[in-house]
A and B are shown apart, each in its own frame.
Chain A
Amino acid sequence: MSSFSDRLLGRVRLGGLLAVAAPLLAIVFAGLVTSLILALTGNPPLETMKLLADYGAQSRTIVMIINLATTYYISALAVAIGFRMNLFNIGVDGQYRLAALIAAAVGGALVLPAPLHVGVTILVAVAVGGIWASIAGLLKVTRGVSEVISTIMLNAIATGVGAWLLTTDRLAVAVSGSNNIGTKPIPPSGQFPGFSLIPGTQAQVFGFVVIAALLGIGYHVLFNRTRFGFDLRATGKSESAAIASGVNVKKMVLLTMIISGAVAGLVGMPQLLGASYSYSLDFPPGLGFTGIAIALLGRNNPVGIAIGALLWSFLDNSSDILDLEGIPKEIVIIMQGTIVLSVIVAYELVHRYRLAAEQRRVSRELSTNAPAPLEGAAA
């Protein structure tokens, strides 16, 4: 029998119709609860939904949704890698912030031809993210420190280190005439070009969306087509069984943490190389925590995460249109929370339904084929 956390993290698959039933149930749940809240706060649910849909269908909004979703997708993948083997990497937030800051500083200081410049900047980010995450991994395998605790603390330390580095004495330069400070802007050779994907707007989609898609494919291949992925999933399901079959669990923990951190290092890259070109005081924080919610929403499945990231990004980008129409924008946060809860609850209900149905089927077969010779065999 599977445990709740196994089912929560999508390690147990649903087959056939049930696989469709769970997300449908979740959507109905979330829709009902959100409508109720809207109605209770005096806003017409249907018109609000229509407002959101109309706004979401505009060309520029679509571009914004894709761009933000790119960032969310990478963040959720980083979290999901840990989830697949029961590692809760809460530290994606600190990992990406530190990685983005140092990569921005390196990218701003370098003079290199275009593809190389981008490549080096990305490599720096990946390395910093991986190294920062490896601290938590090392603490876990050598001292048995829970990665939940150590990564949360490392987030705080990353904030401190980042603030220390981002001063005009070190990595930052004052943005002229502004109260903002940031790293030296990355020159055009180090920027990741975007492209016009959506007609009807000049806004460009981040080129990084391609990298994000490749990461998703890589994630799928790594977990389903490699020995490493098998070992990793095995360790996640049962550590003792993995040890018995010759898996070096400590090595797996450390490696997984490093890979998760390396992917986390990329989280800030779409924004850094595609939009801001500098890490300044207003670089978006908190993306790592959004990633946790989306990984849960997507049930650690690369396609599920993509859908979750797009949905989340759509809601985030829509908050202002609600605000403009006099509907409190906090509704969006309530919706996001409701959706995560609905997904968890819906899948749990479907899993339980499946278990109960299976038990009924087994007992039926037992009673028809051969009357149970021993009392209690069916229970």
Chain B
Amino acid sequence: MLRTHAGKLAATTAVGAMLMAAAACGGSSDTGTATSAPAASSASSAAPTGPKVGLAYDIGGRGDQSFNDAAAAGLEKAKSELSLADTKELEAGSGETGAQKEQRLRLLAQGGYNPVIAVGFAYSEAIKKVAKEFPDTKFAIIDDAAEGPNISNLVFAENEGSFLVGAVAALKTKKDHIGFVGGVQVPLIKKFEVGFTRGAQAVKPDIKIDVKYLTQPPDFGGFNDPAKGKTAAEGMYDAGADIVYQAAGGSGGGVFEAAKAAKGFAIGVDSDQALTADEGVRSVILTSMLKKVDVAVFDFLKSYTDGTVQAGVKVYDLKAGGVDFSTTGGQVDDVKNKVDEYKQKIIDGTIKVPAE
């Protein structure tokens, strides 16, 4: 039985490969016409006036409607306003070693890209080493405090922003039952959870909060799996929650879908998702915790063109306007004043939001 099955498999594979080989012979004549296209496009770049900027994403890259896209938005804005000579965006592959992350940054620096921006804490060790090798290149890393004389650290107080949307959730819930969906169980996402919980409890100390993480490291798939997000959120709505906050990157879309199906509400993250999520689900998004990675990236590039880059940590917290909650759609207008009070208290230090 097994043998016949395997035999069939072999036959199919062999036939398939021969088809491919045959197609290869036929296709090789196309080569001449195809070559000219990429060469032409690279030659027609605008007059180089500003710096060449290199950006290295972590896994996922552009298109997650969330964290990486926020960094990309900052770069786009800089492209149009700061007349950058050239930009290059590289993306991490799955299962790679630290050496490969290093090499990515090194290739950018070697290629004359300056400044170089690393998106995500996974580049922590890599950027330390590569920044030493290229002392004349300016580096920036988002979400990490790796030290170096030519490294700028763009870090965020996600806990403070999450506190505000936690307060929103507690003020808006009708069942005193809310939920939190985290992408991957890592300290960074824990900061979102802790802030959210504290914010909700500040309004209603007895509120019930369901917490669920989609995957655990080294499986980082939880940042990019809408189906998992949907299942987790469905469970929470079924159990009686009416508002769910997602800090799950690309999986967040599934949470919104579940909210729509359950006639519940959801809270977005990183970008103003009432503007960036799929149109069909935007109505369920009460508010979003804004983590202004785009602002940080743009600020850094602006400081580079102005010649005022500073190494070291720059904290984008509530006070600096680096995190906030959004009011797009007007669904939180009734509680906005109350949440603004909390915001003011965090800014002047009356409320301290723990990070873990």
Listed in ascending order, the chain A residues whose CB lies under 8 Å from chain B are 3-5, 8, 29, 32-33, 35-36, 39-40, 42-45, 47, 60, 64, 67-68, 71, 97, 159-160, 162-163, 166, 168, 174-181, 271, 275-276, 281-287, 290, 316-317, 319-321, 323-324, 326-327, 329, 341-342, 344-345, 348-349
Contacts and interface: CB of A to CB of B under 8 A. Distances in A.
A326 B38 contact: yes
B99 A67 contact: yes
Contact of A36 (B27, B217, B219): B27
Given A36-B24, A179-B143, A180-B144, A316 B100 contact: yes
A307 B25 CA distance: 28
Given A3-B6, A179-B187, A324-B107, A159 B218 contact: yes
Contacts of B188: 179
Contacts, number: 163
B307 interface: no
A178 B124 contact: yes
B47 interface: no
A32 to B, nearest CB: 4
A275 B145 CA distance: 21
Interface string B90-111: 1101111111110110011001
Nearest to B93: A319
The CB with the most chain B CB atoms within 10 A, among A36, A64, A282, is that of: A282
Nearest to A283: B218
Interface of B: 2-3, 6-7, 9-10, 13-14, 17, 20-21, 23-25, 27-28, 30-31, 34-35, 37-38, 42, 88, 90-91, 93-101, 103-104, 107-108, 111, 121-122, 124-125, 143-147, 153, 185-188, 216-219, 313
A344 B21 CA distance: 14
Query: Among B10, B37, B122, which residue has the most Cβ atoms of chain A within 10 A?
Result: B10
5 contacts: A160-B216, A271-B98, A282-B122, A290-B95, A321-B107
B24 A32 contact: yes
A166 B122 CA distance: 16
Contact of A177 (B9, B104, B147): B147
B185 A275 contact: no
B218 A281 contact: yes
Contact of A345 (B2, B13, B185): B13
Interface of B is mostly: helix
Contact of B100 (A60, A166, A320): A320
Contacts of A42: 34, 37-38
A203 to B, nearest CB: 9
A275 to B, nearest CB: 6
Contact of A324 (B6, B111, B185): B111
Chain A CB within 10 A, most for which of B90, B146, B217: B217
B144 A276 contact: no
A39 B28 contact: yes
B144 A44 contact: no
Given A3-B6, A33-B24, A275 B14 contact: no
A373 B111 CA distance: 78
Given A39-B30, A283-B218, A177 B144 contact: yes
Contact of A4 (B3, B25, B35, B147): B3
A341 B144 contact: no
Given A44-B31, A177-B145, A181-B187, A33 B21 contact: yes
A97 B9 CA distance: 33
Given A35-B24, A178-B145, A323 B91 contact: yes
Contacts of B42: 326
B102 to A, nearest CB: 9
A178 B216 contact: no
A334 to B, nearest CB: 12
Contacts of B313: 177
Nearest to B96: A284
A97 B216 CA distance: 13
A329 B90 CA distance: 9
Given A178-B124, A320-B107, A284 B144 contact: no
A160 B219 CA distance: 10
